[in-house]
Amino acid sequence: FIINASQPASDKIFDVSAFEKFLNDKIKVDNRTGNLGDTIQISQVGSEGKIEVVAHTQFSGRYLKYLTKKFLKKQQLRDWLRVVSTSQGVYELRFFNVVNDEADDDDE
């Protein structure tokens, strides 16, 4: 599975290394967190903000999407970003499309 967070990472609002650590801490294997071992590897692909999750056992993409949403909520980014499946096994973080003036984000 690949999670593409290059768009928010280039705007400096999404920390890819913190997200990678979050996945390492939270992914459950055999109903236990921190039990990744050799069955699941998590790594950053290049410097453009992509994270690759390689699973050698059965692993659900919906679980990865759930954990991504949980991380966004924890970082208070859930109001601006969403997780979209672009193809099988590939998830992308995109900004919500704002119809009115996009420059008013700095008001708060």
pLDDT tens, residue by residue, 64-90: 999 999 999 999 988 889 999 999 999
Provide the CA 8 distance to its chain's centre, in angstroms: 11
The pTM is what?
Answer: 0.82
- DSSP symbol at 40: E
How far is it, in rounded angstroms, from Cα 33 to Cα 85?
A: 25
pLDDT tens digits, 8-38: 888 888 889 999 999 999 999 888 888 888 8
